[in-house]
Structure 1
């Protein structure tokens, strides 16, 4: 009898432990970076240099070549051109480009890759893991997941100032915009992947749903009413990441550069204290804004 009681306790203990775990067990830091798939790396370098960004060169590896726009807060944009579709990463971006160019997924920095794996296991979400001496990755393998999680070995590492200083005064990634045909399904999708639902809102004069993860914010736009900057993508039937906000300490340099670029055919827009640039070839718009409480420093 005593042996049966011991067995029963041993069986129930893991169930009790799981029940005590918080529903959102992912300790996320922020949206760390956004990969953007392109077919011509030289062309995208020219565009972002024209916008006043410093470009950090990447390298050829795993079937791709890449470059970066890095920021002083540790966040960054990665531009990826596939070269070899027989290699796993090259194949991923090669397949993505069959649909469109543009931002492919969200890279979420987390405190613990192990806790992410446990979180996904409890929700029966399949995933793959890989690691090296710099990071540990956990990637949900369900179609259309559009996200992966990264734990960095050195959580305080920042790139050299020569790579994170920009003429346009950019300092880091802000909210990311996501275009969806069904707000409720998209909300559930990201909740399942560890995001918190911050409720309905209005963004770019269109209905939206606000999601948060760590210190970052994801704004899901309704594809039936996407707002002016995302309308071009909606009209083509595109969904997924459609816009990226970038924090800047001043709008002056950008406004001058965007004024010049708008004469060359790039659609630009100023709305209150924000500037927008529509990069139609990349199915992406950029939103430039100053942090709340920052005063415009005129140059």
Structure 2
């Protein structure tokens, strides 16, 4: 009888241990969204509407105003314009825009904010935590971290179809491109923040270091060899997030729109069954591909 009781206790302890997130890993789901710092929100809405995206209006809060492009898979883009630099978030974007516009951070959706906190403590990375009824955030406080982590209360929530349905057939956020002054340093930086080094490959006619986190990829370009679409950023000394890959169900509608925009001065390119648009005012390029299209080219 005693042996059975001990066996049951050990089984229960094992189940509890399995239910708890490991303290030395980040239980990442994916890159959930990318905040993009801009100086003129009205101009952004016009550009992305012309590309066939549905815009969801945001609101003024903590010194900023924003709007969104949301996708049916739960990922999205957030465009943020600072209004008041005396408030915390407004100050962050105001200061960011002193260097350049464009993608400011990667927001990583995680299964457990607690597991992220344990992981960062183990790595001796300082961080801040905040939460509300919708999400729990864990944000590394080291300068230039470029990442924060979010655990959503409702992990299955999706926005209304009216906000996630787009004329250009966009369905989700794919790999994010990052231009680094030193590719090896950037690889080590993101590894420390929970990314996995997937090794060297090529994309956009340039050497790339692929990093994974959850089901997402971060493609690190070397500023010394940026390739055609990233030349614009390297020539201006910009580093950081420089490109966003967006999955579309068909390229047909989008190609017609890009052809029109190309005539108006927007640099566009078709390469390896993908479409590219260079958004110079936002220090970003967009890569459009259909499901199943290889994201890298060896």
**What TM-score, normalized by structure 2, do the two folds share?**
0.90
Q: Alignment partner of 1:158: what SS?
A: coil
Equivalent residue number for residue 64 of structure 1: 64
Q: Alignment partner of 2:187: what SS?
A: helix
Equivalent residue number for residue 107 of structure 2: 107
Structure 2 Cα separation of the partners of residues 22 and 235 of structure 1: 43
Equivalent residue number for residue 213 of structure 2: 213
Equivalent residue number for residue 127 of structure 2: 127
- CA RMSD after TM alignment: 1.4
Structure 2 Cα separation of the partners of residues 182 and 106 of structure 1: 19
Equivalent residue number for residue 277 of structure 1: 277
Contact 2:24 2:118 in 1 (8 A): no
Structure 1 Cα separation of the partners of residues 57 and 64 of structure 2: 13
Contact 1:67 1:78 in 2 (8 A): yes
Equivalent residue number for residue 147 of structure 1: 147
Structure 2 Cα separation of the partners of residues 162 and 215 of structure 1: 26
**What TM-score, normalized by structure 1, do the two folds share?**
0.90
Contact 2:176 2:218 in 1 (8 A): yes
Deviations 1:138-175 (A, max 9, x none): 00010110000000000000000000000000000000
Equivalent residue number for residue 31 of structure 1: 31
Structure 2 Cα separation of the partners of residues 94 and 272 of structure 1: 38
Deviations 1:229-257 (A, max 9, x none): 11100000000000000000000010000
Structure 2 Cα separation of the partners of residues 41 and 203 of structure 1: 31
| Cα deviation, residue 176, structure 1 | 0.2
Structure 1 Cα separation of the partners of residues 79 and 22 of structure 2: 36
Structure 2 Cα separation of the partners of residues 147 and 83 of structure 1: 23
Structure 2 Cα separation of the partners of residues 267 and 24 of structure 1: 44
Contact 1:24 1:194 in 2 (8 A): no
* Change over 3 Å in CA distance of 1:276–1:177 after alignment to 2: same
Residue correspondences, number: 275
Deviations 1:193-213 (A, max 9, x none): 000000011111101100000
Structure 2 Cα separation of the partners of residues 293 and 286 of structure 1: 15
* Change over 3 Å in CA distance of 1:196–1:64 after alignment to 2: same
| Cα deviation, residue 272, structure 1 | 1.9
Structure 1 Cα separation of the partners of residues 147 and 42 of structure 2: 26
Q: Alignment partner of 1:233: what SS?
A: helix
Q: Alignment partner of 1:258: what SS?
A: helix
Equivalent residue number for residue 225 of structure 2: 225
Q: How does 1:68-217 map to 2 (within 5 A)?
A: 68-217=68-217
